[in-house]
Amino acid sequence: MKQQLQVRIHADGKIDAKTLGIKGSGCTNYIEIFERLLDARTVESSYTEEYYQKSTQSAVQENVQRTQT
């Protein structure tokens, strides 16, 4: 799946934003980006299922570390 940012702005001004296709804790790097782009602050957040999956980049870095030691 492609990495995507999804933003939904409700009629009452509430904003829902989430990441799609970003595995691992890397998705949390986008919180500040969302806040700046939307001129908003985070009131509530939760992790998607993808947060608990290992990112490809982390897996590659972990593999490299193991082979170097």
66 DSSP 8-state letter = H
- Residue 36, pLDDT > 60, answer yes
**How confident is the model at residue 56, as a pLDDT?**
57
| Tally of CB atoms within 10 A around 19 | 21
Confidence of residue 16 (pLDDT cuts 50, 70, 90): very high
Region 42-62 average pLDDT: 75
Quote the Cα angle for 55-48-38, to 5°: 100
Domain that holds residue 34: 4-68
**How confident is the model at residue 54, as a pLDDT?**
81
Least confident of 10-14, 35-39, 65-69: 65-69
**Model's pTM, two decimal places?**
0.64
Q: Count of domains in the chain?
A: 1
